[in-house]
């Protein structure tokens, strides 16, 4: 059974159609890549998937339930972990504090949240010293790891990543993709929006958005 299903999703900006009858299925334990040329609607679709925008027609289901009936803040803080292209970390906080804050927002019950946050940061390749640095003192690859740890801190079914390797060197890109592959093996549904052919090759399923010919 699909964990997330898109049925005939449509979205327009004024008279300009961006998404036309988009229908995709996403399952747990698989890694997906959504590709498409500039203007094909990747950013719009990402906004719709993360509940930052709503389709003008069509239906999205989470475990068979219409997500329009699920509170969008609950959806983002319980069921889907979002990794933004610009990370969106709180720069005055340390890496571990960023992860702990995410746990607090999601209402995670744990007597040792700091210990759990450190465990998550270790799982994505950061040591204690890096975990206790302010995120501004971390490299781009390290900040990406913090963003991943934050996204999985409340154990969501779905991980949605926007160009997660776009600004990384090849070696770091491969390491980040290995983290996503591990999350897939743990039963997560991993959805990546990317321009990278290398990223697409590492995914189980590729969905391509076609640019509207009228654009």
pLDDT digits (tens, 9 = 90+) for 58-101: 999 999 999 999 999 999 999 999 999 889 999 999 999 999 99
pLDDT of residue 213: 60
In sequence order, what are the beta bridge partners of 16?
Answer: 13
| pTM for this prediction | 0.94
Who has greater pLDDT, 182 or 210?
182
Token pair in block for residue 127: 């040591």
DSSP 210: P
pLDDT digits (tens, 9 = 90+) for 147-206: 999 999 999 999 999 999 888 899 999 999 999 999 999 999 999 999 899 999 999 999
pLDDT digits (tens, 9 = 90+) for 1-40: 799 999 999 999 998 999 999 999 999 999 999 999 988 9
Distance separating alpha carbons of residues 203 and 33, to the nearest angstrom = 6
pLDDT of residue 215: 41
As separate numbers, helices (DSSP H) first and strands (DSSP E) second, the chain gives 8, 10
CA proximity to 88, closest of 5, 40, 147, 136: 147
* Stretch (H or E) spanning 172: helix 170-185
Distance separating alpha carbons of residues 26 and 13, to the nearest angstrom = 26
């Amino acid at each position: 059974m699909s964990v997330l299903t898109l049925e005939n999703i449509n979205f327009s900006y004024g008279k300009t159609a961006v998404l036309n009858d988009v229908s995709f299925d996403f399952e747990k334990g698989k890694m997906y890549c959504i590709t498409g040329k500039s203007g094909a609607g990747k950013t719009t679709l990402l906004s719709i998937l993360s509940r930052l925008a709503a389709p003008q027609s069509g239906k999205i289901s989470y475990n068979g339930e219409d997500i329009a009936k699920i509170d969008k803040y609950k959806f983002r803080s319980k069921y889907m972990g979002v990794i933004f292209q610009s990370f969106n970390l709180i720069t005055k906080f340390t890496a571990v504090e960023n992860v702990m804050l995410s746990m607090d927002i999601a209402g995670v019950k744990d007597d040792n949240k700091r210990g759990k946050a450190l465990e998550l940061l270790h799982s994505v390749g950061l040591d204690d010293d890096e975990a206790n640095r302010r995120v501004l003192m971390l490299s781009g690859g390290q900040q990406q790891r913090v963003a991943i740890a934050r996204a999985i801190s409340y154990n969501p079914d779905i991980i949605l990543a926007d160009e997660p390797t776009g600004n990384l060197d090849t070696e770091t890109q491969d390491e980040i993709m290995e983290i996503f592959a591990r999350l897939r093996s743990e039963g997560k549904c991993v959805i990546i929006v990317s321009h990278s052919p290398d990223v697409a090759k590492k995914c189980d399923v590729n969905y391509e958005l076609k640019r509207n010919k009228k654009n």
